[in-house]
Structure 1
């Protein structure tokens, strides 16, 4: 295995991690900003108000994006196994 092969696999692994975690992170960010905006408008500083909507939004997002995340991980796994099979 050369350095180029190792860098290619690491680059693909990082891309897979970003693609798999991206939907949940973005939804959590948008819900958090929306709740922070709501708290700033109403001056209600309840700490638990931020957690429940985020958890629900993330669970829904993970359920909806599960086929996409599974396809990304499967694609990466197939790539790594094909490289192992061909001897890099």
Structure 2
């Protein structure tokens, strides 16, 4: 395998990982900022107040975007990885 093909496939795989993780990371960021702002405004310093809403939001977004993640990974493997393994 040529080095250029290897690095291009690695770059494409890392980009797919960024695309797949983006919805979950954005929701975790927005939820964390919202809960942090709520805690700052009300002076409530409860540790579970940050954990439980963030976990619930991440699980909800994961459940909604699971098909997108699966389709993206399957597309990457069938269009990029499998032809490289087959030697085309």
Taking structure 1 as the reference length, the TM-score comes to 0.93
Large movers: runs of 4+ above 3 Å:
none
**Structure 1: runs of 5 or more not aligned:** none
1:11-30 pair list within 5 angstroms: 11-30=11-30
How much is the aligned-residue C-alpha RMSD, in angstroms?
1.0
Aligned to 1:76: 76
Instruction: Give the Cα–Cα distance (whole angstroms) in 2 for the partners of residues 18 and 58 of structure 1.
Output: 16
Taking structure 2 as the reference length, the TM-score comes to 0.93
Corresponding pairs, count? 87
Instruction: Give the Cα–Cα distance (whole angstroms) in 2 for the partners of residues 71 and 16 of structure 1.
Output: 11
CA shift for structure 1 position 47? 0.7
CA shift for structure 1 position 77? 1.1
Relative contact order, CA 8 A, sep 6+: which one is greater? Answer: 1
